[in-house]
């Protein structure tokens, strides 16, 4: 019986030594980091354009002349602001099956353009050599002002995951 106890103790010590050596060489570290969220986006843009436009449509037996000259006074201005006196801005979106509407509050576009000396608009249609065909035509020269407000509303989501693994070199 004495021999058996010694062998069991020896076997136990040997097994612990082998496991300890294997654990010290097989170091594995794993780290995972995940971030997620939602962004709510509200954007608006106001674009104002001043200019001139001439157009003409005439039969070949008409001569067309159009000219538009627009001179603005220095007191002309274009002001786009967000935030009323209290500093608040809002947009209320209403969506229906056929479209959507938005009610804006606190967003202001104030445009004033004053015509200065030298501004002129002229268009003329003149018949050329009579060829027996009817003379038909239109011509125009105008000033134009366009203001466009674009509003968009949306939501975007994101998910980022970073996973890192570290292992020691294989035992030799």
Domain boundaries, the chain: 41-155
* The pLDDT of residue 22: 47
* The pLDDT of residue 84: 64
* Number of C-beta neighbours around residue 168 at 10 A: 11
Confidence of residue 93 (pLDDT cuts 50, 70, 90): confident
The answer, yes or no, to whether residue 92 has pLDDT greater than 70, is yes
Q: Higher model confidence: residue 22 or residue 164?
A: 164
d(C-alpha 56, C-alpha 122), whole Å? 12
CA angle 17, 22, 28 (to 5 degrees): 145
Residues 6 or more apart whose CB falls under 8 angstroms from that of 4 comprise none
d(C-alpha 116, C-alpha 104), whole Å? 34
pLDDT tens-digit map of 119-160: 999 999 999 877 888 999 999 999 888 878 777 777 778 778
Confidence of residue 39 (pLDDT cuts 50, 70, 90): confident
Average pLDDT of the residues in 90-104: 80
Mean pLDDT, all residues of the chain? 76
One DSSP character per residue, 80-136 reads: EEES-TTS--EEEEEEETTEEEEEEESEEEEEE--B-TT-EEEEEEEE-S--SSPP-
* The pLDDT of residue 32: 80
The top-scoring range by mean pLDDT among 17-26, 46-55, 137-146 is 137-146
């Amino acid at each position: 019986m004495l021999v058996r106890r010694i062998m069991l103790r020896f076997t136990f010590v040997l097994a612990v030594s082998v496991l300890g050596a294997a654990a010290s060489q097989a170091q594995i570290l794993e780290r995972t980091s995940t971030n997620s969220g939602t962004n709510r986006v509200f954007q608006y843009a106001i674009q104002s354009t001043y200019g001139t436009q001439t157009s003409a449509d005439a039969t070949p037996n008409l001569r067309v002349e159009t000219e538009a000259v627009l001179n603005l006074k220095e007191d002309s201005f274009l002001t786009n602001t967000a935030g009323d006196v209290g500093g608040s801005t809002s947009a209320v979106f209403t969506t229906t099956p056929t479209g959507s509407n938005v009610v804006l509050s606190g967003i202001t576009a104030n445009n004033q353009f004053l015509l200065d000396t030298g501004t002129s608009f002229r268009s003329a249609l003149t018949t050329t050599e009579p060829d027996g065909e009817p003379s038909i035509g239109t011509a125009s020269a105008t000033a134009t002002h366009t203001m466009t407000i674009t509003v968009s509303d949306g939501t975007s989501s994101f998910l980022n995951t970073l996973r890192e693994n570290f292992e020691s070199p294989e035992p030799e």
